[in-house]
Amino acid sequence: MSGAVQTQTQERKGEQVSLKIEGMTCAACATRIEKGLNKINGVIKANVNLTLERATVVYNPETVRPADLIQKIKDLGYGASLHKEEAERADDRKKEIRFHQVRFIVSAILSVPLLYTMIAHFGWTGFYMPHFLMNPWFQFALATPVQFIIGWPFYRGAYKAIKNGSANMDVLVALGTSAAYFYSLAATIKGNADKLYFETSAILITLIVLGKLLEALAKGRTSEAIKKLMGLQAKTATVVRDGKEISIPVEEVSVGEIIIVKPGEKIPVDGIVRSGTSAVDESMLTGESVPVDKKPGDPVIGSTINKNGVLTFEATKVGKDTALAQIIKVVEDAQGSKAPIQRVADKISGIFVPIVVAIAVLVFVVWYFFADAGNFTRALENAIAVLVIACPCALGLATPTSIMVGTGKGAEMGILFKGGEHLEAAHKLNTIVLDKTGTITKGQPELTDVITLSDKTEEELLRLVATAEKNSEHPLAQAIVKGAEERNITLATTDAFEAIPGFGLSAVVNNHRLLVGTRKLLQRENVPFESATDRMEELENEGKTAMLVAIDGELAGIIAVADTVKESSKEAIAKLQELGLEVVMITGDNRRTAEAIAKQVGITEIRAEVLPEEKAKEVEYFKKQGKKVAMVGDGINDAPALATADVGMAIGTGTDVAIEAADVTLMRGDLSSIPTAIKLSQKTMGNIKQNLFWALFYNSIGIPVAAVGLLAPWVAGAAMAFSSVSVVLNALRLKRVKI
C-alpha cells in the first residue's frame, strides 16, 4: 500500500476539524503552530495554511477535543476559533482589509512629513524645508504613534514568539524599527539633532502595513473559486405540499419531497426525475458545455440549469449532502492541504529568523569595529536593513497561494483534486492505466448477437439468460436484460443465483442450471466449448464481448454485447501520448475484445482478462519498474487499483463513492480531463517554483547587499513588503493560464 493510502487510512480513524487562526504573520508562525498541534497527544495530523489562516487537524476524539486544540494555539500566542462558513469568512476578510486600510492611512499621514524631511536633506532636490519639520520633538511626536500604536501588533507578536522560544517576522520588524526609534529618541534627549532616524522606523512600519493591505486584497482573490461555487447554489425551490406548489428557501427542502423545475430555473438539490423530459446544463460542475438530456429515472444535480422542459423530481440529497456541497468541501480541503514541496519552505522558515538576527548582530559588529570603526549610525543602519529585508513572508506564501489558485481553477474545469499533494504528484506521472468499461468506453453496452448452438430457439435462449442476468448489476448483464425487454420477451423466475467475479454467473432457471460467462468459467465447470471457438473469435475481433452459455452442463449458445467507445477517448489518448506518457488499457475482457477496442483508440499496451482484485497488482507491477502511475477508473470496482496508484483518478459525476475512492475526480466523465489535469499540475508546480525562487532571491540577494551597506533601511522595507505581494500576484496568474 502506498504512503498516501496509509495516510488516508490513518486519517479516517480520527475526526477532522478546521480552525480559524488569527495573528499569523509569516511562515515561521505557521510552522510553530503546526509543530505545537502535532505534539498534542491524540492529534493524528495537523496542517496549518498561512494563506487561508486555517489549521486542519485530524484527531482522536477520545483523547483530545477541539477546545484543547484552540487553547494550545492561544497558548502559543495566537487567536483561534472554529472554522466559519464562507459567508462569515468573507465578512472576516472585509474586516481585515478595513483594519489594514485604517492602519495604513493613519500611518501614512504621520509618516509623509518625516519622509519629506529625509528627501529634503538631499541638497540636489531643492525642496523647501519648513523649520518646524526639523524640530526633533516634532518628529518624535509624529513617529511615536506609528511606532507604538500602528506598530503594536508587531511588538505583541514578537513578545509571544520569544515567550514560546521561537522567532518570526514580528521579531525582525520590532528589532529593526525599535533600534532606529530608540537611537533617535536618545539623540533627541541629548540634543543631537543631526542623528535622527525617526523617519526610518515610521516609513518601515508604513511600508510593511501597506504590504499587508495589498497582500490581504490579493489573498481575497485566491479564494474566488469557492465563492463561484457557493454562488451556483439555488436560493429557492418550488415544492409540492398538500397538492399545492409553494416556493421555499432551498435550506428547507427535505429528502423525499417532490420538486418542480421550470425552464431556465436552477435545479435546487440532487434528485431523481419522476416525470418530464428536458436538457440540463451541467457545465458549471462538469465543464461539459453540451446539455445533458434528462428523462424519468435519470439523476439531476443541484445547481445545474434546466434548459427547455418542465421536470418533476424527488429530492434525494439536500444541504451538505448534495454533490455541489461535496465539491465545495473537496476544494476547501484541497486548498487547505499542504503539498510536499512546501516542506522545503517550512524547514527554511523554521531556522531562518534566528539566523538573520545573528547575521544582523555580526553586521553591526563588523561595521562598528572594523569596516567603519566608531561609526555607530552606519553600523546600526546596515544591521536594521539586514533585519528588515530578511522577513520570510514571501517564503510562507509561495506554495499555498499557488495550490489555492490551481485547485480552484481545476474545480472550474470539472477537475477535483483532493489535496495539494495530488496536484503536485500529477506532474510527475509517466504511465496512465485506463480501465476499459465506463472509462474508455461508454459503459453502456448493447445486446448485439444471440447465437443458439442447441435445440433452444434464440428467444428461449435469451429468456433463460436474461432471467439469470436480471439479478446482476454488471453493465453487461443489464444490457442483456434490456435487449430482452426490447424484444418483448417475458422473463421467468430465478431459483438460484451466484455471481462469480471475473468469470460470469451460475443460476438455476426453470429447473435448468445455467452458466453464462468466459471460457475460464466453462473450463472450470468441465463444459466443452471448442465448437464455439471460431464464432467467439469472430465476435471478439469485432470488438464485442462474447459470453458462452451452458445449460445443464452442455454448450447451448453465445450471447454477445458491444460497448461503444466514447467520442472523446481517441483524441484524449492521443494527447496523453503527445505528452510523452505511456498509456495502458486494463480490462477483465478477453484479449481479442480488448485488442479490438485498443486498436480503435490507439493503445498498444494491453492487460486483458484481469480480475478486479488483480488490477491493483498490475498497477503495483508498473510502480516496481520505477514508473509514476495514474489509475483511471469508475471509482467503485476499481477502488483497490485507484488506491494503489500514485494518483487515482475517478471518472464520475461527483458521486460520494467516486470522490471518496480517488485522489482526483474527473467530473466531465470522459478522458479529455486527464491531459488537462496533468497540464494544470505542471503549470501549478512551475508557478510554485517561480514563487520559491523569487522569495529566496529577495533574501539571498538582499541580505548581502544590506550587509555591505548598499541598502537603506526604508528601501529594504519596501522590498520586503512588495516581495509578498509579488508572490501572491504571480500565483494569481494561474487564473489566466489557458490549458
Strands 270-275 and 292-294, how do they pair?
unpaired
The residue behind cell 522560544 is: 165
What is the helix (H) or strand (E) element at residue 432, kind and residue range? strand 431-435
Looking at the DSSP assignment, which residues form a beta bridge with residue 630? Answer: 432, 647
Look at phi and psi of residue 264 and say left if phi exceeds 0, alpha if psi is from -120 to 50, else beta.
Answer: left
φ/ψ (deg, to 5) at 702: -65, -40
Strands 311-317 and 647-651, how do they pair?
unpaired
Q: Hey, what amino acid is at 492?
A: A
Whether 504 and 515 have beta carbons less than 8 Å apart is answered as yes
Look at phi and psi of residue 515 and say left if phi exceeds 0, alpha if psi is from -120 to 50, else beta.
Answer: beta
Whether 405 and 417 have beta carbons less than 8 Å apart is answered as no
The residue behind cell 440529497 is: 317
Looking at the DSSP assignment, which residues form a beta bridge with residue 651? Answer: 666
**Contacts with 455 (C-beta within 8 Å, 6 or more apart), sequence order:** none
The residue behind cell 518601515 is: 204
Task: Give dist(CA 330, CA 228) in Å, integer.
Answer: 14
Give the residue from 431, 423, 333 showing the smallest Cα distance to 644: 431
Task: Give dist(CA 580, CA 578) in Å, integer.
Answer: 5
Residue 13: all three cell numbers together: 480513524
* Residue 148 DSSP label: I
What is the helix (H) or strand (E) element at residue 540, kind and residue range? helix 533-541
Whether 366 and 359 have beta carbons less than 8 Å apart is answered as no
Strand order in the sheet with 79-82: 43-49, 54-59, 15-22, 79-82
Burial of 144 (0-12, 13-18, 19+ CB in 10 A): middle
Whether 280 and 264 have beta carbons less than 8 Å apart is answered as no
Burial of 41 (0-12, 13-18, 19+ CB in 10 A): exposed
Give the residue from 584, 636, 630, 590 showing the smallest Cα distance to 610: 590
Whether 507 and 551 have beta carbons less than 8 Å apart is answered as no
Whether 605 and 621 have beta carbons less than 8 Å apart is answered as no
* Residue 289 DSSP label: -
CA angle 313, 316, 317 (to 5 degrees): 125
HEC-encoded secondary structure of 332-399: HHHHHCCCCCHHHHHHHHHHHHHHHHHHHHHHHHHHHHHHCCCCHHHHHHHHHHHHHHCCCHHHHHHH
Residue 555: all three cell numbers together: 454448450
Is 435 marked active-site?
A: yes
φ/ψ (deg, to 5) at 635: 85, 0
Task: Give dist(CA 587, CA 436) in Å, integer.
Answer: 6
Strands (E), 608-677: 629-633, 647-651, 664-666
Selected catalytic residue, list 270, 346, 435, 663: 435
Residue 331: all three cell numbers together: 476544494
**Catalytic machinery residues:** 435
